[in-house]
Amino acid sequence: MEKSEIVQSAKSIEKQAITEFSNAPSSRDLYDLKVKYLGKQGALSMLMRELGKLGAGDRPAVGQMFNEVKNRLEDAYARRETELKTQEVNAAIEREKLDLTLPGPKIASGAAHPISLVISQIVEILGRIGYSVRQGPLIESDRHNFTALNIPEDHPSRDLQDTFYIDDRHVLRTHTSPVQVRTMENEKPPLRILAPGSVFRCDSDASHSPNFHQIEGLLIDQKVSMADLRGTISYFVDEFFGPGLKKRFRPSFFPFTEPSAEVDCSCPICRGKGCRMCKQSGWIEIGGSGLVNPKVIQACGLNPDEWQGFAFGFGVERMAIIKYAVDDIRLFSENDLRFLEQFQ
């Protein structure tokens, strides 16, 4: 190549490179262009090889020209690089910008099941007057569930239709009263205990579930009367449902209490006027109660001349139904979130 041709080529490479640099859409593309024009195998380097073929007199000036072209291209590259990098950083900032005013994702929080809620409220209310919680097994011996509670062999509640038998000496407990027996057998009176938990009976419809919950109360002391029982239950009903509900003790029968009374309170939904919840009677039954039968005290190894007591057993689902106006007992075991979320 002639000197003039080399100079001409260098100029056109410079011109083309500068155009392409300024059109490069990204710093990545720009870098590729740097390799294309300024790299070891790049257009400028290839042309510089022609330098060796020139006469010694021409070389310094042409070499000088190459240096200048190279410097200008490097400047152009650096300027465009700064420009593109700035654009790219700004775009990234824009893209990653956090709008702190946007509502956050909804965090689903759990809540206590209404049955647990009712149990913990009862435990708290009666805890204030000295009651503490005891537990017993769900699979009970025939003795704890029936015999020690003065339920004779031929009593209807032993009927196969009501009781789930595990074998001929074990049942799924049909009530929480066996915890009375276990506590009297193992602890020294005076006693004030609560036993909440699952119980089982062969029964299933809108108001009966084969697995439901009771909370048992037992007080053992000296000189205990029906008045003590009434006072305790009245206190409890007022605290749990709010004051102003009437309470009614209806004579009843349980083998393990004597005398026995069914506890009713005036329907908290209609306040006694009559509604669907109370089947128009104005009263809702919450459970059984009575003075502990001396035969039970004796069967548990205590002297009935020294110790008396009262006991009560309330249905937890019933209390929840009344308190939260729930119309089907099955809702408590179906785990439908639309139902459960209302108790958050």
The binding site for ligand PHE (CB under 6 A) comprises 175, 177, 216, 254, 257, 287-290, 311-313
In whole angstroms, what is the distance from residue 163 CA to residue 155 CA? 12
In whole angstroms, what is the distance from residue 118 CA to residue 212 CA? 13
Q: Which long-range contacts (CB under 8 A, 24 or more apart) does 109-113 make?
A: 109/344, 111/340, 111/341, 111/343, 111/344, 112/343, 113/332, 113/340, 113/343
Joined together, the tokens standing for residue 6 give 């080399």
Nearer to ligand PHE, 30 or 215 (CB): 215
Tell me the closest approach of the beta carbon of residue 275 to ligand PHE, in angstroms.
25
Q: Contact, 264 vs 285, CB < 8 A?
A: yes
Nearer to ligand PHE, 179 or 267 (CB): 179
Residue from 288, 322, 328, 326 nearest 207 by CA: 328
Nearer to ligand PHE, 197 or 288 (CB): 288
Tell me the closest approach of the beta carbon of residue 216 to ligand PHE, in angstroms.
6
Tell me the closest approach of the beta carbon of residue 258 to ligand PHE, in angstroms.
10
Tell me the closest approach of the beta carbon of residue 180 to ligand PHE, in angstroms.
7
Tell me the closest approach of the beta carbon of residue 217 to ligand PHE, in angstroms.
8
Tell me the closest approach of the beta carbon of residue 166 to ligand PHE, in angstroms.
19
Q: In the bound complex, which residue of the shown chain has the CB atom lying closest to ligand PHE?
A: 313
Nearer to ligand PHE, 257 or 266 (CB): 257
Joined together, the tokens standing for residue 80 give 């465009």
In whole angstroms, what is the distance from residue 105 CA to residue 11 CA? 60
- H-type alpha helices, 96-165: 114-127, 142-145
CB atoms within 10 A of CB 19: 10
Tell me the closest approach of the beta carbon of residue 146 to ligand PHE, in angstroms.
11
Residue from 39, 228, 6, 214 nearest 115 by CA: 214
For residue 1, the SS3 value is coil
Nearer to ligand PHE, 33 or 316 (CB): 316
Nearer to ligand PHE, 17 or 181 (CB): 181
Nearer to ligand PHE, 183 or 257 (CB): 257
